[in-house]
Amino acid sequence: MYEHLLYSCLDGVCRITLNRPHVYNALSPALLRELNTAFETAGADDTVRVVVLTGAGDKAFSSGADLKETPTTDGKPNLGDTLRTTYNPLIRCMRSLPKPIIARVNGIAAGAGSSLALACDLVICTDSAYFSQIFVNIGLMPDAGATFFLPRLLGPQLAFELSSTGRRVYGPEATRIGLVNRSVPVGELDEVVNETVAYYASAPTRSIAAMKKVFNQSLYSDLDQMLEQEADNQNELGQSADFGEGLQSFLGKRPAKFSGK
């Protein structure tokens, strides 16, 4: 079904792997379209509770846009149309996916590859992995959602510094400044990712989905709007099977067995 990525689902976990290691998992238009389809498929699959996004090989999560495959109009690159037809739908799909997405960053995350990681809900990377807003090196500005995520994660000044210099931010610094959730030695990456995945695969999925949706809204809403969002979504969750199970397990002093419904 897919030519440029690997897709598998097992025990509630969907794993999507960018599979162009020969070009450091650079993002071609074909790969971006496949990614969008993969996330839509995961979103529609009721058995999926959590998604893991990573890159093939041990060198790169993604090196960013594949500049050799930049579409042109009359011999000139039409970057705006490329963003509108490939990157933008993908980022919107990821942020609206009612399931958590964990980025397993195993190496370079540069340019739009960094943006792709930032669009995930959690980012776990190796200490040797680095993030770089390399757009400036070719006279461009950050895209694929980076101008939205970076100031909110880091504040405007640090976001500007990283974007205007393109300097590399390695795992430990990325964790310290809040760019990622956790940085670990290479040998511990899969263990830590799997522990995180195991939690979300058994967590109350509808509850997590509501949190994600409402947190998205909070980025451009005021307090009154957020209070109403909380009330609306809490009312829906209060009628879910997971709330019933959570309440009964609490009263019965036993571990909850969430179904994601």
Q: What is the pLDDT of residue 251?
A: 78
Q: Are residues 133 and 180 in the same domain?
A: yes
Q: Are the C-beta atoms of residues 31 and 18 closer than 8 Å to each other?
A: yes
Looking at every residue in the chain, the average pLDDT score rounds to: 92
Rounded to the nearest angstrom, the gap between the alpha carbon of residue 90 and the centroid of all alpha carbons in its chain is 10
pLDDT 10s digits, 176-230: 999 999 999 999 999 999 999 999 999 999 999 999 999 998 877 777 877 778 7
217 lies in the same domain as 89: no
* Of 249 and 18, more confident: 18
In the chain the first and final C-alpha atoms are separated, in Å, by 29
Lowest mean pLDDT among 23-32, 108-117, 228-237: 228-237
Q: Please indicate, yes or no, whether residues 100 and 167 belong to a single structural domain of this protein.
A: yes
Whether the pLDDT of residue 129 is over 70: the answer is yes
Same domain, 191 and 214: no
The residue segments making up the domain with residue 209 are: 205-251
Rounded to whole angstroms, the Cα distance separating 169 from 187 reads 20
H-helix or E-strand containing 10? strand 5-10
Residues 6+ apart with CB under 8 A from 251: none
> Does 103 lie in the same domain as 29?
yes
Give the list of residues 6+ apart from residue 123 with CB closer than 8 angstroms, or none. Answer: 102, 103, 105, 117, 179, 180, 181, 182
pLDDT at residue 95 tops 70:
yes
10 Å CB burial of residue 217 (0-12, 13-18, 19+) is middle
How far lies 115's CA from each of 1, 30, 86, 123, 218, in Å?
Answer: 25, 18, 13, 12, 20
Residue located via tokens 């695969």:
201
Q: Write down the pLDDT at residue 82.
A: 85
User: Are 221 and 195 part of one and the same domain?
Assistant: no
Is 92 part of any domain? yes
Instruction: Report the share of the chain in percent with pLDDT over 70.
Output: 97
Question: Mean of the pLDDT values across residues 126-150?
Answer: 92
Is 232 within the bounds of a domain? yes
Q: Residue 250: its pLDDT value, please?
A: 75
Give the count of alpha carbons within 13 A of 10, CB side only: 5
Integer angstrom CA distances of residue 86 from 25, 51, 110, 141, 245: 16, 20, 18, 17, 41
**Whole-Å CA distances, 220 to 73, 95, 224, 225, 234:** 35, 14, 12, 10, 20
246 and 165 co-located in one domain? no
CATH code, domain carrying 82: 3.90.226.10
Both 64 and 137 in one domain: the answer is yes
pLDDT for position 45: 96
Structure confidence at residue 243 (pLDDT)? 80
Residues 89 and 110 occupy one common structural domain: yes
* Total of domains in the chain: 2
Residue 141 sits in the same domain as residue 72: yes
